[in-house]
Amino acid sequence: MASAPASAASPLFLLLSVLGFLMIGIGSFFITGINASDQTNTYPLPETQQSDRITLLPGQPSNPPISHFSGYITVHPGRALFYWFFEAQSQPSKRPLLLWLNGGPGCSSIGYGAAVELGPFRVKRNGVGLEFNKYAWNKEANLLFVESPVGVGFSYTNTSSDLTRLDDSFVAEDAYHFIVNWLDRFPQFKAHDLYISGESYGGHYVPQLAELVYDRNKDQKNYPFIHLKGFIVGNPETDDFYDSKGLLEYAWSHAVISDQVYEKAKQVCDFELINWTDQCNAAMNIVFQPYTEIDIYNIYAPICLLNKTSSSSSASDHVLTSHFKVKKGKRILGGYDPCYSPYAEEYFNRMDVRLSIHANMEGNTSKKWRVCSDSILNSYNFTVFSILPIYRKLIKAGLKIWVYSGDMDGRIPFSGTQYCMEALDLPINASWHSWFHHNQVGGRVVEYEGLTFVTVRGAGHLVPLNKPSEALKLINSFLSGRNLPTTH
């Protein structure tokens, strides 16, 4: 029998919704009544904040207590971005605010950043619950995730034409209004230092948003002042020429492609062109072919062998020119589990989870939540081909800027990012050298005047997932102003 459409308020759905909210209310009573002394946030909250508080997240570990909030921030009439906010685990009133953006375009900061990378809770295998992440970045900052742009995750627009207009400028404008309106909802953080962070295509989103905040801070008659101090990006798309050059060279130097394939691509490809020639596209498709067998985002790690279905996606589905599929079969068990995307989708498509995090998606409870949206990726208007001019502008403005790269990422390799950093032609304050973590080399670092570039040894595209302890040390150093350790 066909089910009722999501827009129809069936008696069964209404009953389930009421029961769900009653359970959340009961959970709220016990959590606020019994464990009030454990709450990180001890001062009275305005109703607008209290309604966003998460009190009964299914599968949440009981210890340590985490104060967190989620909901929607309207950025334009009929358009809203979904957020998940975690107060710092200690002294939230004294710690900075760190905003995190994932890329894609079309990938969720909830599904990646919050749920499998740097948030305090990670989704367990098969999406059955959560486990505490002892390397969560809210040990260092108040941590704010937003699903951007509209159409990603739980974020929505009531105007379908918005989804055809998405480009870097549109995304930056909405993200700016998100920050302004979120701070209006949480005014206790207006005076906090703000840092913007992200990874992958966040290499576009983060500097562009920082530039917009910086520019509007100079016009305080028309815009509120935001205490922006800097930004940090990981394995970032930065400049199409250098990123593409690095991708090809990395595949060759790491035994992914043969000498012949490498030489052919070098011969027919001019990466300075905005649109590749047919010959270049054909050659690069051959370069990408081996990545159907391994994970381009972490070339030495195992791939996910879960049976692929139409409802699941993974990082490997979002490669530059193709949507690759991984082999079917039995999942590999071990210390690294590459099946994080299907697990996240299982969890965030649960009705009890959606009710808990206030993700109503304008009443459309049947809409499938996905880690990455193919439709956003395929319809996105790519109009910006280099972020380097923004780096030059914001370095000159005195913002604190760090760039880091996991050195096992084949999609946006450290070598391409290194080309980008060198192209800025900055004076070097401390030349390329090792940094250490737990008596081992954590990676390499070079300190330019106005910018620091760090590699993380043994990490892929998602550094906080692959090397969580090193990633926590990295963000600690960035926020505290202390150098990464250069001795054992």
Active-site residues, by number, are 200, 409, 461
Give the span between the Cα atoms of 107 and 297, in whole angstroms.
Answer: 14
The H or E element containing residue 85 is strand 79-86
Give the span between the Cα atoms of 361 and 359, in whole angstroms.
Answer: 6
> Which residues lie below 8 Å from residue 74, measured CB to CB, with a gap of 6+?
80, 181
Number of H helices, E strands in the chain: 14, 13
Three-state SS at 283:
helix
For residue 123, which of 481, 485, 465 has the smallest C-alpha distance?
465
Encode burial over 240-271: b for 16+ CB neighbours within 10 A, e otherwise.
Answer: bbbbbbbbbbbbbeeebbeeebbebbeebbeb
Rg (CA), the chain: 22
Three-state SS at 454:
strand
Q: Which residues share a beta bridge with 440?
A: 437
Residue whose entry in the numeric block shows the structure tokens 């090809």: 248
The H or E element containing residue 404 is strand 400-406
Give the span between the Cα atoms of 239 and 201, in whole angstroms.
Answer: 11
Give the span between the Cα atoms of 438 and 136, in whole angstroms.
Answer: 18
Three-state SS at 317:
helix
